Amino acid sequence: MSALLSLAQVSLNLGAHPLFVDLTLHLNLGDRIGLVGHNGSGKSSLLKLLQGELAPDDGERRSQRNVVVAMVDQFVPEALLARTLREAAELALPEARRELEAYRAEAELHKLGFEISQFDIPVAELSGGQQNLLLMARAILVDPDVLLLDEPGNHMDILSLTRLRRWLTQLHQPWVLVSHDRHLLNAVCRQTWILRDRTVYRFELPFDRARAALAHADEQAAARRAEEEKEVARIEASAKRLAHWGHTFDNEDLSRKAKTMAKRADRLRADYTFVSQGSGLSLALPETGLTARQVLVLEDLTVTVPATGRTLVQCEFLNLRPGDRVALLGINGVGKSTTLQRIIDALNHEDGPIRWNPRVTLGYYEQQLAELNRGLGRFDWLREQVAGPDDAIRQTLLHSGVPYERFDEPVEQLSGGEKARLVFALFRLQRPNVLVLDEPTNHIDLDGRAELIEALVNSDITVLMTSHDQHFMEAVATRWWWINAGRLQEVTGPEGFYQSLESTVSAQPGETQSIRESIDALDDETLLARIDELETRLAQDRARKPKHQKPDRQARWEQELSALWQRL
């Protein structure tokens, strides 16, 4: 049976920089493929080639007739930001059937964990993870034959990631998933494509086993290369001796044999086994600390939604000491980013409940990387941000693995991972003694995450951070702050936060089955009445003060509502 989609001997260049050379790939029914690769290796470009949005420089894209390909991009289109959640989902439906099939949009949003009370929220007010869930709902509404997903787990908290895993495993369409989350890749992927060396290494294995297989192949290639180089060195040494003897003794036969052996060495060298040099990328931080008793104090702090004044977070007292690495916990939407932004703003504007040490120099990593949506090249963007000699900028870029010929690439055209690495290159030049990191692992590849962990752990820099990467947080954090029920307070570890998610993620299998059996027995009138009853209960419970709400009940009601809407 022919492939649904394929690329045949495809080559693609980014300016003078080749991304792929003579690449051949096939996508078949039943495939669940994890696509991984270092930042800037061309993962998004490969998805666009498969989608047909990008034409190759050489080779061709082939597909079966009438195959519908849906792409889940990394960012919501700007035109949707002013729309409500419900409207943005419905706009994915064909205009002629939009009114009749609006129920499908609501059903898909329910499957991905959205509540009815959220349907009229503007897309711009959703968290980054919620916006990604919306894009997934829109993709499935076009009835695709193939799904291509470009880092859908970016910006998602653990709760949303669990919903993403469930959604992916329930899809009947084949898909290709770009991700830097090894737990997600191992949980949902049957195959792995590793993009490296301008080609794709394909494995019928989940990520960890595929990576181990590639590492083993690399070791074997390196061993063969060493033997080949040893043999070439032996032949060249013999040729050199024969040439010397031929010259010394004026012996043409020895000189002829020397030339023959030298040609043989050249042929062997031309056929050397290829050994990958890896990405060449490097991520490092300056080793700067602050000598002081306090870095930051929060006292009687209330954080509100800027547009409405609604209270998000309250904090009685917390402090940050030099060398602390604090992880800020909380599900998407509780106000982590808003709280961090309020804290950062207080560095330059007096804010009574927030007191910074005046000797603090701050480096801020913002999860949307908004400052990099400009036409400046890498070098010029850094030049604009920092004082100092041009040579320091050049050396920093080179140390980060960026060759001279890519210094002038516009930052707005860089991948999310390349932008992230550029921000950390900026930190090396600015040498801050405090870092505020809002989801720093969202776009960084797996090797980069390991480098970042090592850099933070081995530095004296004070850190306040959020991340949905559990491994990253636990490897780096020395203290834990948790936004829970509208309160920001210190906890001894993340265990309570993770346990609090268990009842919210989903009902137990037996409970889910019981709900479905009960719903199947309802007629339409009773079913609608039950939906109205549950929505009223949810609204009433959420209207209470956070400490009086019942999250467990809310989770059960949401589970039943989702099943009710699917039954409709």
pLDDT of residue 154: 79
pLDDT digits (tens, 9 = 90+) for 184-198: 899 899 999 999 998
Q: Which of 506, 526, 537 is nearest to 111 (CA)?
A: 506
Q: Are strands 5-14 and 58-63 parallel, antiparallel or unpaired?
A: antiparallel
At which residue do the structure tokens 């709400």 appear?
549
pLDDT at site 34: 97
What local confidence, expressed as pLDDT, does residue 10 receive? 96
- What band does 509 get if pLDDT is binned at 50, 70 and 90? very low
In tens, the pLDDT along 60-114 reads 999 999 999 999 998 899 999 999 999 999 999 988 888 888 889 999 998 888 8
> What pLDDT was estimated at residue 182?
84
**Span 401-429, mean pLDDT?**
87
Instruction: Return the SS3 of 187.
Output: helix
The 10 Å Cβ neighbour count of residue 235 is: 18
Q: What is the pTM of this model?
A: 0.72
Q: What would the DSSP string read from start to end of 329-347?
A: E--TTSSHHHHHHHHHHTT
Average pLDDT over residues 457-480: 91
Total length of the chain: 568
Q: Examine the pLDDT at 227 and tell me if it is beyond 80.
A: yes
> What pLDDT does residue 514 have?
47
Evaluate if residue 199 carries a pLDDT over 60: yes
CB-based contact 188:170 (threshold 8 Å): no
Q: How far apart are CA 401 and CA 385, in angstroms?
A: 20
SS3 call for 506: coil
pLDDT tier at 277, thresholds 50, 70, 90: confident
Query: Contact, 295 vs 468, CB < 8 A?
Result: no
Q: Yes or no: say if 284 and 399 are a contact pair by the CB < 8 Å rule.
A: yes
325-381 pLDDT per residue, tens: 999 998 877 888 889 999 999 998 888 999 999 999 999 988 767 677 678 899 999
Provide the 8-state DSSP code for 272.
P
Encoding tokens for residue 228?
């080949």
Residue 424 class from Cβ within 10 Å (0-12 exposed, 13-18 middle, 19+ buried)? buried
- Alpha-carbon gap, residue 411 to 375, rounded angstroms: 6
Please give the share of the chain, as a percent, with pLDDT higher than 70: 87
Given a cut of 50, is residue 498 above it in pLDDT?
A: yes
* pLDDT tens-digit series, residues 240-274: 999 999 889 889 999 999 999 999 999 999 999 88
DSSP one-letter code for 377: B
- The DSSP 8-state label assigned to residue 53 in this structure reads S
486: left (phi over 0), alpha (psi -120 to 50) or beta: left
| Nearest alpha carbon to residue 4 among 58, 71, 68 | 68
Closest of 392, 403, 476 to residue 437, by C-alpha = 476
Residue 161 and residue 131 in contact, taking contact as beta carbons nearer than 8 Å: no
Structure confidence by residue, pLDDT tens digits, 41-56: 899 999 999 999 999 9
**C-alpha to C-alpha distances, 77 to 12, 132, 156, 227, 502, nearest whole angstrom:** 26, 11, 18, 54, 33
Token pair recorded at residue 207: 């990520």
